[in-house]
Amino acid sequence: MSDLTGEVIDGRYQLTRVVASGGMATIYAALDLRLDRQVAVKVMHPHLAQDEQFVTRFIREAKAAASLSHPNIVSVLDQGWNQGGVPCVFIVMELVEGATLRDYLHEQGALSVERALQIMSPVASALAAAHKLGIVHRDIKPENILVSKEGRIKIADFGLARGALLGNTMTAESSVILGSVSYLSPEQVQRGVADARSDVYSLGIVLFEVLTGQKPYQGEDPVQIAIRHVNERVPAPSTINPDLSPDVDALVLSATDIDPDKRPRDAGVLLEKIRELSEKLDPRKRQLSLELDLPPLPIKQPARERKAKNSSPAKKEETPVKKEKTAPTKKKQLSSRVRRNRRIAASIAIFLGVGVWYSLLGPGSKVVVPSLAGLTVKEAKSTLEDLGLNLDIAQEEFSEDIPDGKIITSDPAGGGRVSPNGTVGVIISKGQERYSVPTVQGLKLEVAEQLLKENKLVLGEVKEEFSNEFPQGFIMQSTPAAGERIKRNSQVTLFVSKGIEQIALSNYKGKSGEQALNELTEAGFDVKTKYVFSEDLPPGAVISQTPGAGEADKGSTITLLVSKGSEFIAIPDVKLAKGEKAVKILRDLGLVVPEPKVRNWQTKLVSKISPKVGTKVKRGSTVTITVG
């Protein structure tokens, strides 16, 4: 691709220098003219921008990274199509000044265990954040791990990422081809499938390389390397670096197990293992507990006893009284009134004594009823039989407090009296009064209301919502849900379908395909984009849409036909240009240019070009140049 240094992308990002270049895109350092800050702009190669699959992958990278917020993931700031200048698809990211882990390993070689874990920990932490959102990176390798000048570790290039938030448009074959074969998990090689455990495997291979200075399998044939990943167990790192401990071997072998079920289930579990090993190697790294540890409360000293009074009351000295002899007196004679009162009192005492004897010991005695509340019928019968009493179940009632089958109350109640061989009546609990919510899904409102009444329940709030599954007027669900047992006369909320939501559909013909994709997706449509050549519209513009403007069901599929630009291109005048530069110019335009079979053709000037300058040919056509 031609160097775009100096160009202003999207009227905002001025490209200042090339940072890196790969098979899919070139990364530039740039100045954000609007916010006056340094950023990195990843510009897709123009010949790939015509390929729908590569554009989709490029956009997925932006969405994947933008959905993540983590200090160890390169932040994505913007994405779009450049409309005002050189046509291109671009992503704007934070600028990380530094090098890749690959460069770091080339300079440092194999690292110590402590340093390796120090690097792997933030990488695992970043992947754990992605896995928590259901996003799988699928291309973990040293080239995608950045080391900033300040020592910050960051993961980049989510171009192969896949997850529920991102969709799933790339084929298994393409993902295997695009991924780096030395770090692919066995399931990616065999079936083209990947989940969080596949990232764990790739990270385990990276850890192996960091500890030993080399990959587990060497060779120039990618197919043979992939086959070895499928059929062979990754060797222990200590077979290459004997100084490594069994604990380090166990960590790497666990992460790189051929069976995904035997690996840590995601990067979060692997991160815990890395931290445990790090703390085992250096206990000083163990983090302090965040639990609050309160000191014991001081025990109050008991109050002192009051002092006894200094003085106590003196005992009175008893003075013996000398008894004097008195002359005997005659006994006093009782009056008739006193004698009568005494006879009445004696009669009352005799009467009360006979009554007490009759009630407690005589024929009139009764049995005291014990408390029966909370007992089962069997337990109550046994208790009453021991007292010579009978049990009668008077009735059964619901109770919020007494469990089913146990006694709520008795008559007489506990402490009351009943005649010998008498009967005690009891009320038995039927448990809490509860009624099951009937299944009302798929019913009309009036039918559901009647069904609730039959089940001793009441229709509560009716909420209307759009639905793609249920026709208008039919019940989708209830709260509480069907089968749940609730109190009598409880209210049940019903959710009734308003049918499929109709959304206004604009006409995007001639507008940006990226704008149409974003707006339609945000509106709730499933957008399918097809790229074709157009002689009338510039690259990225919408040629047509199906269905057209009007209204459409939310969630329905909208097909956009987007221009890839003209299928034809005019042969530029590269005469008198050096052969190497001419070939580059022509190839960047999508033309096939064989290298001239002349010595030092790169530096010789072009003397002839076929087809002639200005001739319109299809992209992919062969153009021959003559030098010298």
Stretches in the chain below the pLDDT threshold 70: 1, 61, 64-65, 83-84, 158-179, 220, 284-365
Residue 545 belongs to domain with CATH number:
3.30.10.20
How many CB atoms are located within 10 Å of the residue 536 CB? 9
Q: Answer whether 372's CB lies under 8 Å from 378's CB.
A: no
Q: Of 497, 521, 540, which residue constitutes the final position of a domain? A: 497
128 lies in some domain = yes
Residue 111: which CATH number? 1.10.510.10
| Site of tokens 């220098």 | 17
Same domain, 484 and 417: no
Q: Are residues 149 and 186 in the same domain?
A: yes
Report yes or no on 295 lying in a domain.
Answer: no
* Contact between 476 and 466 (Cβ < 8 Å): no
Does 110 share its domain with 23?
Answer: no
Q: Is residue 375 within 8 Å of residue 406, measured between CB atoms? A: yes
Active site residue 139: yes
pTM: 0.46
Question: Do 138 and 199 touch, CB atoms closer than 8 A?
Answer: yes
**Planar angle of CA 103, 108, 112, nearest 5 degrees:** 125
Same domain, 127 and 187: yes
Question: What is the residue-wise DSSP string for 78-127?
Answer: EEEEE-SSS-EEEEEEE---EEEHHHHHHHH-SPPHHHHHHHHHHHHHHH
Which tokens in the block code for residue 555?
């969630």
| Domain-located, residue 201 | yes
Q: Are residues 121 and 269 in the same domain?
A: yes
The pLDDT of residue 305: 39
* Domains in the chain, number: 6
Residues 409, 518 share a domain: no
Q: By the 8 A CB rule, do 387 and 370 touch? A: yes
Does some domain include residue 303?
Answer: no
Task: Please indicate, yes or no, whether residues 552 and 607 belong to a single structural domain of this protein.
Answer: no
Residue 545 lies in a domain: yes
**Rounded CA gap, 441 and 443, in Å?**
6
Give yes or no for a contact between 613 and 573, defined as CB atoms under 8 angstroms apart: yes
**Do residue 73 and residue 53 come from a single domain?**
yes
**1 within some domain:** no
- pLDDT for 247 equals 95
**171 & 207 share domain:** yes
113 and 262 inside one domain? yes
190-214: pLDDT as tens digits? 777 788 999 999 999 999 999 999 9
Range of 75's domain?
8-94
pLDDT tens digits along 304-337: 334 444 434 433 333 343 444 444 444 455 556 5
Residue with tokens 């994709």: 517
Write down the catalytic residue from 10, 139, 199, 257: 139
309 within some domain: no
Q: Do 465 and 581 have their domain in common? A: no
Q: Give domain status of residue 321, yes or no.
A: no
Give yes or no: residues 32 and 162 share one domain. Answer: no
Task: Return the pLDDT at 164.
Answer: 38
Last residue of a domain, one of 478, 497, 516: 497
